[in-house]
Structure formats: C-alpha cells, structure tokens
Chain A
Amino acid sequence: MALDKPYKDVPGTIIFDAEQSRLGYWLNQFCTSLMKAENRARFLADERAYLDEWAMTEEQKQAVMARDLNWCMQLGGNIYFLARIGATDGKSFQQMAGSMTGMSEEEYRNMMLAGGRSVEGNRYLGEDGDAQPHRQPQGAGSKKEGN
C-alpha cells in the first residue's frame, strides 16, 4: 500500500521526507562538513576538488557550484543543510530563501515587510497564486524573461 503523502500537491514546496533524504544523503553530508571553518576555507579555495571528495552525483555538484538552491532541493537537499553553503558565502537566511523565488533581494525583502507572501491561491497546485508553476519566474526574474 502506498504511503500517504498529502504534501505532494503544495505549490513551490518540496517536503524533505525519507525519499528525499535518501536522494540527498551525500549532498547534505557535504553541507554539514561546512560547519567547520577549515572545511569552509578548503571549499572556497577549490570548490570542485572539495566536492569531488564526496559521493555526490555530478548533477548535485553542478547544482551546488551554480548556487541554485531549488535545483539542490530537487536533488534531495534540505534547506537547513543547504544553509551551510549560504553561510559559507556570507549570505543571510533571508538572502538564501529569497534566491529561490526568482525575485531580487530587494523585492523579496519588500514583500516580507509588506506582510509576506499571501496564502491565497497558494494552498494547492493548480490554483492561481504567485507561487504556482505557471506564474514562474516571479519578480525581477520574470521581467528578464520579457513577461
């Protein structure tokens, strides 16, 4: 019998469950290694060489080097682990979360100051809220696309 996973239909959201955890084990373990200052220095000095020390897939390594956190999450990354990469780069949690929305840092910050993203239209896949796939990318990201 299939397991109950009602969270699969929440737009713009990947729940880190046992399946994701299995995919992302080494990616997340690599992230954990960045909690040591000497490892952060080694990673920043030669990202590729440092990543090659881990049993990650090539795609996971590319996603890390691209600093594409959405891509990392699709490959089993978890935001609390991925935050170690952002910390290594000197980024705040707000900058990291904002980087996943397609919005500029300023747009994201302003959205939060204005009360945050609305839940309306963003509860279920297929509604028409701003986090829905058919409305991506959003903010400055969408302007670049000429939308």
Chain B
Amino acid sequence: MARITASVYTSHVPAIGVAMDLHKTQEDYWQPLFAGYDFSKQWMKDNKPDVIFLVYNDHATAFSLDMIPTFAIGTAAEYKPADEGWGARPVPVVKGHPALASHIAQSVIQQDFDLTIVNKMDVDHGLTVPLSLMCGELDPVKDAWPCPVIPFAVNVVQYPVPSGQRCFALGQAIRKAVESFDEDINVHIWGTGGMSHQLQGARAGLINREWDNNWLDLMINDPVACAKVPHIDYVREAGSEGIELVMWLIARGAMADVNNGERSGPLPQVTHRFYHVPASNTAVGHAILENKE
C-alpha cells in the first residue's frame, strides 16, 4: 500500500522565489534564510518521495472571485507556473499524479469532505516556492522537479476560511485515502504558507516571534490542542495572513501518531526545525517531521 512517511512545513513567501530566480540567495539579506534550508535540500535528495501531496493556498491566481473553493485537489497531469503579474516564474512545469489524486478525491469525499476537483489550473508561488526551497534552483527547461506533485489548495483568502480543527480532521482523511491506494509508494505531505505576517493596512509588518514559536511547539507536540486554536487568535497574534498556518494542520493530521482525532503512539521525529525573520514582510517557519518505523 501507499504510505505517508514524512511531513514538511514551510512558509512560501513570493520574494523568496524572486531571490532564487535572480540568483540573490547569497546576498546578506537572504543568506541566513537560505542557510536554514541547506539541510532540507540534502534531506530531500536522501529521502526522495514518489509523490508530494502539497497543501498550499492559491493567492487569487487560479481562483478569482468567480469561484472560491474551500478545498481543491488537482487531478491533472501537469500544472504550469502562473503569471502573477510579474510574469511566470522560470521553474519547471509541475507534473501531477492523476491516478493517486483521483483516488484521494474519491476517498476523501466519501469521508464527508467536499473537495473541488480541478483538472486545469496554473500554480502560483504558494506551490512553487516551497518546491524551490526544498529542491534548490532548477532550470525551467533542462531540469524537472524530483517527483510528481498533487496540489491541494485551501481557501485562506476570503472569509470564512476553514478552521484548524477541520484542517486537522482533513489530514486524517487524506492519510486514510493514501493508505488505501494499492501501489507501494512513498508519499510526503507538505503544509505550506504561514508564520506571522500581515500584508495590509497600518498594522502591516506585524511579527510575533514568541507566538510563532509557541505555536510550532504545540503543532509538533500537541496537535490536538493546536487544532483548537480559534481563527481570531491567528489574526490578532500573528497578523491577518498568519491564518495560513491552519494549512500546516492538514499535514500534521496526516502523521501516524494521530488517530480518530486523538494522539496515539510516539510523536514523529523532528528531523529539522528553523525560524527566521524577516523575509520581505513575514516570519519564515520550517520543519520536517518523520514517522518513526
């Protein structure tokens, strides 16, 4: 059967993509941030998955106000990098995994989560920046991402957005879905976006280092309690866009120690953890958790 062996968590700031695309990663401003991913890039090479299930939010790119799905799963064979107004990022086209994605869609909908099925969309920095951080700079023509990716978009743009509790439960449903897929493949689930940031108004630039790190402790060690953190706490403490963190709970809920809404069994191994301020307007958080055998 297919299995989820690890989860990866990372912010997905657009400026990080720009810094990589313009080869500025060794500049004073960016070097400390990218140093936090040196370990991760090597880990990706040593622990290459067969498929990445990548939870992210679309930033008004594939979904305008014409359609606002709360949860959308990509079942296409490929996804092109989007033109977000600056032109498309020069990174490889993202290859999908239609067979596993369709299987997960069927299973998760039968577990009472209403997913929108997407057969055609472009993917924005929310998806491509995490891939770049974990895989390094790649040539858009000569290179390829290391494996197929299933994009899973969560609406955190127009309120109401899904609760942490619902995201946590969804992660459990996704793990069940993956484990009912007959091929013997290794899947990583990534929760992306988040850590404190506010991009708007007089409060723009808000960073709450203490809250971020306490939240990360809770997410790792007591995800059941973390899932109960209400929306308003994210907004008040971590800024209006700090709400993206609920997406990390989808990945956390898919780990082996979470069953039927409770923790049982050993905590996952914390393979890597990193925090940095700032990247453009935000704090950057990053962690790699692995299921123990």
- Interface residues, chain A, with chain B CB atoms under 8 Å away: 6-7, 10-18, 21, 25, 28-29, 31-32, 34-37, 40, 69-70, 73, 78-81, 83-84, 86-88, 92-94, 96-98, 100-102, 108, 111-113, 115-119, 122-124, 131-133, 136, 138
Contact = CB atoms under 8 A, between A and B. Distances in A.
Nearest to B59: A80
A21 B158 contact: yes
Given A21-B65, A81-B60, A123-B237, A100 B83 contact: no
A71 to B, nearest CB: 11
B200 A97 contact: yes
Contacts of A94: 15, 280-281
Given A13-B203, A18-B158, A123-B236, A84 B65 contact: no
Complex A-B, nearest 6 residue pairs according to Cβ-Cβ distance, in ascending order: A116-B207, A87-B85, A12-B202, A12-B203, A131-B203, A17-B159
Contacts of B237: 119, 123
Given A35-B82, A83-B85, A119-B237, A108 B199 contact: no
Contact of B60 (A32, A70, A117): A32
A11 B64 contact: no
Contact of B205 (A14, A18, A28, A108): A108
Contacts of B281: 93-94, 97, 112
B145 interface: no
A93 B206 CA distance: 15
Contact of B204 (A15, A17, A97): A97
Contacts of A117: 198, 203-207
